[in-house]
Structures are given as structure tokens and as C-alpha cells.
Copies of this chain bind each other. A is one copy, B any other.
Amino acid sequence: MVTKQVGGSPEDADLRRADSLAREIFSDVANKRAFLIIEALGERTLRFSELRDEVEGISHKMLTQNLRMLERNGLVRRAVYPTVPPRVEYSLTEPGQALRATVDGMCGWTHQYLGHIEDARRRFDA
């Protein structure tokens, strides 16, 4: 993604490890649902069911799955309150907030070029 021409030296081994990890993270995070969840959370704290309503169209399963993944990568914080009924709250960590900036960028991009894209599609589909 950034590193090229790595040789056989010890420092290069580190570079390769970092690069493979970076690709892995990219595969996890650069995905539609993860972005939507990050957008939905913003700087709020939301319960599972609220998040489910917020990210419309997402299934229970995919939401948990992606939340686990984001939690594992340290983007999302999960707080469990052992009440009855149980209460689980999700919020963005600092790294999560940092990524939100670029996700916001993409949202802005989408709206800015909406017209362009609509036109491009019409032209292409003809």
C-alpha cells in the first residue's frame, strides 16, 4: 500500500510485517457497513438497538459481526451494564474518531459529486 522494494534485511522484515498488517486492517475497515456504523456513532453513544435503527437496512447479525470487528481493532468501545434487561452501549474510541474524519470526507465527497456520478452513470449505461 505504501511500501515497495523490500529486501532481506531485518528492518525490511518489520516493514513487511507492518505492511501485511496494514492490508489486513484495510480489508477489515474499508467496508461499507463499517463506514456506516462509524458515521452513525459519530460522537454519540448508542445502544445496540439504536444503532440498528440508525444504520438502516443492516441485519442483526451483520451489525454484531461488524461491531466485534471494530471493537477488536480498537475503533469502537463496548460498555456493558449488567442490568435487567441488559444494556450495551457503543461509542468511538480516539482512533475511531480519527477515522471518522476521513469517513466524513467520503460522505462529503458523495454529496458533492452526486450530480457528476448520476451523469456518468447515464452515459455509461447507454
Contact = CB atoms under 8 A, between A and B. Distances in A.
Main DSSP-derived SS at the A contact region = helix
Interface string A101-112: 110011101111
Interface residues of A, number: 41
A120 B73 contact: yes
Contacts of A121: 72-74
B124 A72 contact: yes
A11 interface: no
Interface of A: 1-2, 18, 21-22, 25-27, 29-32, 35-36, 39, 71-74, 95, 98-99, 101-102, 105-107, 109-114, 116-121, 124-125
